[in-house]
Structure 1
Amino acid sequence: MIGRRTPASPGSHERHDREELARLLPPPADQDLPYEQHLRHKELLMHRIDRDQNAADSRTRDARPARRWLRPAVLAPATALALACALTAGIALSGDDGRPADTARHGAATDMQPAAALLHRISDAAQQRRAPTVRDDQFLYTREKARDAELTGGKAKIGPLRTRESWTAQHPGPLHKLGLVRVDGETLPINAELGDTEGTPAGINRPTYRWLSSLPTDPDKLLDKLYAETPRPEGGTLDERERDQAVFEQIGQLLGGVMPPDTGAALYRAAAKIPGVERAPRAHDAVGRQGLGIARDDKRHGIRTEWVFDKKDFSFLGSRSYLTEDTGYGKAGTLLSSKAELEHAVVDKAGRRPGGTGERAGTAHRS
């Protein structure tokens, strides 16, 4: 017997047509919340996540001494400056080689799709910029506005907005004199770390233009290298999420300044692969310039770090970090650090500003 075809139910064709049209339409645009409301919603979400993870994490937490790790950029006074690239050394890592499992790194693509799309656009813009010529006997000049929190009294006390200028030597080294830094007119030397009798060579702790140019331009290989070489302090371990945060912070320290176009493009695409990276719609730098934001939360310590990019040309404007929950250092929303990149150039002598005799004029936001 030949079976009969069941007739379609009334309205099924119309419903099918509506579903087909819905799949063709773009997803609805996210509506930006006011900044304070955004923080309140975010804090509630973080508390729910922490509550759900308490049972699974309690055994690990009980096995470790209680300690609070903060970014060294937050801990350091404004006048006790070191190389910016070394600021992430105070974040503890875990694992044998500091590298996340591929499933953890690539499995978050769905969660961070909007951030990845933005980082890919920023990467494309970075790759189109002109590559400068930088000799080993020259210095990279940076001028920025910055604020940092003092925590010596047990509470986060944000300092005043200061003008910082730095001149970093480009010789591959190892060097004992790494350059100069000038804060509100006071000039200080940048020296190799105490005990470093051999001097500091070019590398992740002193990223010269030549060293940056030598990095892999394949995002996966670059990310592997960053996970392997991001500094880790002695003692203490944190979970995989905090290793991801450490590498995110390390990439942030490399941004800005005079950057090889291919390296800059690869750094942004590598950042897009880190789990937990997301859009930050209300991001702004130290001088109040609002732009396109990329952020990641250190949920264990309640700190959010944001990068800010120009809305027109996708250049790096600056960064900031603040508390996302009430801690002993302050309430949620307390600012910990903020920076605005103003000018970058290549100069022939430390202490000399761009535009002087024989120097190329600096161009802002080259990264």
Structure 2
Amino acid sequence: MNTTEYQDLARRLPAPAERDLPPDRHRHHKELLLRTIDGDRPRPRRRLVRPAFALPAAAAVVAGALAVTLLPGAHDRSPGTRVPLAESGTPREAVVLLDRIAAVAMKTDTEPVRDDQYVYVRSLATTTEHIKPVKAGGLKEREDWVPQDPHATHEAGVFREDGEFVPVTSADKDPAGIGRPTYKWLAALPTDPGALHERIRKETRPVRGQDFDQTVFDTFGTLLSRGVMPSRTEAALYKAAAKIPGVVEMPDAVDADGRHGVAIAREDRRLGERTEWIFDKESLKFLGERTYLTKTGERGEAGTLVWANAILDRAVVDRPRQVP
């Protein structure tokens, strides 16, 4: 595809919604989709502007991939660029671990979130500097203030990166749902694991080039890592995640902040990469995620880190720019 065709595709695609992907997942899907379009061509660098809450939408991801690039971070912490390849556990071990995590979630008291409040998320994530071969760059820290009901607050949200506050202006047009998972929407989900798995699978949009079960796994990961929800809903989501084909347990993993934990993982054999949800080994608190290559190819050697993130803080606040 030449430059003119590439620009024409960008013009014809709809503009990406402000809530299509959290920033770290957007980076990963950008790399994935550009690889399927034209992995060898150099691409212009522009600043990534994405709020934290959202899930994959194929057209929006493609459009974002055409318009977005990443700035290398200047953070001192680093998850490294190589992941020691280890044998995974079994699906049965994943079920046992997810049951344990669900039991902890059920014991956690979560206050309902009002429509006029904001979910605050402080996160750390790697950037991806190159498409081929894959190269995880520096780390960036980011804060997001996501409103539950932009109509009620007349504020569509704001995020802060590199010390700069950036308002989000289009979220008030997005209804609550899998693309904007508010507390109220999450609380209304079925708590039967089987019904919940089918609901999330039905509402997840495919991502070009990715195994659909992997896209579903990513959707669950975003809901669980960044959403604020009733304890019963959270427990049901963990149990429902155990029904995704290919989910296994990993005895050790490291998030973007360098914290070690146990992981729930799934490998996309089509892409040759594995994504892990990382939990503290003692408290089973969600720490972060990482994705790395599991086979050597044109994208790099097996064990190469594709991306990683860490959830540093998650809370509910009464106004944007308020730090808990």
TM-score, with normalisation over the residues of structure 2? Answer: 0.72
State yes or no: 1:113 paired with 2:115. no
> 2:27 and 2:315 mapped to 1: Cα distance?
23
> 2:133 and 2:212 mapped to 1: Cα distance?
26
**Unaligned runs of at least 5 residues, structure 2:** 1-24, 32-44, 60-88
Partner of 1:364: none
Partner of 1:200: 174
Letter of the aligned partner of 2:310 in structure 1? A
Contact residue 73 and residue 87 of structure 1 kept, 8 A: no
State yes or no: 1:169 paired with 2:154. no
Find 2:213's aligned residue among 236, 241, 244: 244
Partner of 1:73: 27
Q: Report the Cα offset of residue 90 of structure 1.
A: 4.0
| TM alignment of 1:29-68, pairs within 5 A | none
Find 1:325's aligned residue among 280, 295, 302: 295
> 2:235 and 2:279 mapped to 1: Cα distance?
14
State yes or no: 1:259 paired with 2:229. yes
Find 1:82's aligned residue among 20, 31, 50: 50
Provide closer, same or farther for how the CA distance between residues 313 and 85 of structure 1 changes in structure 2, counting only shifts above 3 A: same
Q: For residues 305-346 of structure 1, give each alpha carbon's deviation from its aligned partner in whole angstroms, at most 9, with x where no partner exists.
A: 001111122111111111111233322222111111111111
> 2:132 and 2:154 mapped to 1: Cα distance?
34
Task: List, as ranges, runs of 4+ consecutive aligned residues in structure 1 with deviation greater than 6 Å.
Answer: none
Contact residue 55 and residue 178 of structure 2 kept, 8 A: no
| TM alignment of 1:1-367, pairs within 5 A | 72-74=26-28, 75=30, 79-90=47-58, 112-151=91-130, 154-171=132-149, 178-192=156-170, 199-232=173-206, 242-257=211-226, 258-354=228-324
Contact residue 123 and residue 269 of structure 1 kept, 8 A: yes
Q: Report the Cα offset of residue 78 of structure 1.
A: 9.8
**Unaligned runs of at least 5 residues, structure 1:** 1-70, 92-109, 355-367
Q: Report the Cα offset of residue 79 of structure 1.
A: 4.5
Provide closer, same or farther for how the CA distance between residues 84 and 325 of structure 1 changes in structure 2, counting only shifts above 3 A: farther
> 1:283 and 1:351 mapped to 2: Cα distance?
32
Contact residue 116 and residue 153 of structure 2 kept, 8 A: no
Provide closer, same or farther for how the CA distance between residues 206 and 129 of structure 1 changes in structure 2, counting only shifts above 3 A: same
TM-score, with normalisation over the residues of structure 1? Answer: 0.64
Q: Report the Cα offset of residue 191 of structure 1.
A: 3.9
> 1:277 and 1:147 mapped to 2: Cα distance?
24
Provide closer, same or farther for how the CA distance between residues 264 and 278 of structure 1 changes in structure 2, counting only shifts above 3 A: same
> 1:205 and 1:174 mapped to 2: Cα distance?
19
Letter of the aligned partner of 1:245 in structure 2? Q
Q: For residues 93-135 of structure 1, give each alpha carbon's deviation from its aligned partner in whole angstroms, at most 9, with x where no partner exists.
A: xxxxxxxxxxxxxxxxx95100000000000100110021311
Which one has a bigger Cα radius of gyration? 1
Deviates more, 1:220-229 or 1:74-83: 74-83
Q: Report the Cα offset of residue 84 of structure 1.
A: 3.8
Contact residue 175 and residue 200 of structure 1 kept, 8 A: no
Q: Report the Cα offset of residue 263 of structure 1.
A: 1.2
Contact residue 177 and residue 185 of structure 2 kept, 8 A: yes
Q: Report the Cα offset of residue 185 of structure 1.
A: 1.2
Partner of 1:19: none
Q: For residues 217-244 of structure 1, give each alpha carbon's deviation from its aligned partner in whole angstroms, at most 9, with x where no partner exists.
A: 11011011011101235xx687xxx221
Contact residue 85 and residue 250 of structure 1 kept, 8 A: no
Contact residue 172 and residue 201 of structure 1 kept, 8 A: no
> 2:206 and 2:247 mapped to 1: Cα distance?
21
- In angstroms, what is the RMSD of aligned CA positions? 2.7
Give the share of equivalent positions with the same residue, in percent: 45
Q: Report the Cα offset of residue 154 of structure 1.
A: 3.6
> 1:78 and 1:351 mapped to 2: Cα distance?
25
> 2:267 and 2:288 mapped to 1: Cα distance?
17
